[in-house]
Amino acid sequence: MSVRPVPSDPSADTGGAIFQQQLYRPLFEDVRARHIGDTLSIVINEKTAATKSGSSKLAKTGDLTAGVGLMNKVPGKSLSGLAVNGSSDSAFAGSGDAASANDFTGTIGVTVTDVLANGNMLVSGEKQIAMTQGTEYIRFSGVVNPRSISFSNTVTSDQVADARIEYKANGYLDEAMVMGWLHRFFLTILPF
C-alpha cells in the first residue's frame, strides 16, 4: 500500500556546487506532506444514513361466457345448448422498507504514492490490528488537495476526493455472522 521515496543518485553531477536539487528541502518548510513517500494522517469521520420504502398493488379480474346455440344439419349436433362459463381473479400486494445508518470514526496514517501535475496527491495506507479473536484491516486511499492539509499534517476524510475506505475483519466471530451458502440458495427460491 505504501511507496518509498525516490532515492537520490549520489553520483549525479553537482557541478562543484554545494546545492543539490534532488536533496533540496527549504530551511523553513512546514511538516505538511508534499512529496512521494511523505506520510499524512487521515482523520476518518464518515456518517451516512439512508431510508427507502416502496409498495405496489395489482388486481386483475376476468369473466368469460360462451354458449352454443341451436344447430341443424351440422356435425356436432349433440353439442346444441352447451354453455361454458369461466372467471379468473388475480391479486398481488407487495411492500418493502429498508434503512441503514453507518458511523465510522478513527485515524489512519497514509503515504503519498504519487503527486499529480496539478499538485494533488494520491495517498494510500493500511492498518492491520491483530487481536485474540481475529484480525481487523482498515484500508484507505484517495486524492488529497495539499491546501486541505492542516498544519499538524492531518486531513479529514470528507476532504479527500475519490476516497475508498475499507474495514474488514476475519475471525470465527465474523464467520459466525455470515449466512451459509446452502441457506442463501434456498432463500433465493423459497417461498414459492
Mean pLDDT within 153-157: 93
Q: What is the pLDDT of residues 86-139, one digit of tens each?
A: 787 777 777 888 888 888 888 999 999 999 999 999 999 998 888 777 788 899
Q: What is the pLDDT of residues 3-25, one digit of tens each?
A: 666 666 656 665 666 666 666 66
- At CB < 8 A and 24+ separation, what contacts does 82-91 make? 87/61, 87/62, 87/63, 88/60, 88/61, 88/62, 89/60, 89/61, 89/62, 90/58, 90/59, 90/60, 90/61, 91/58, 91/59, 91/60
Mean pLDDT within 48-74: 76
Higher pLDDT, 69 or 169: 169
Look-up of cell digits 423459497: 190
DSSP classification of residue 35: S
pLDDT tier for residue 46 given thresholds of 50, 70 and 90? confident
Q: Is 188 helix (H, G, I), strand (E, B) or coil?
A: helix
Give me Rg for the CA atoms of the chain: 35
pLDDT of residue 88: 78
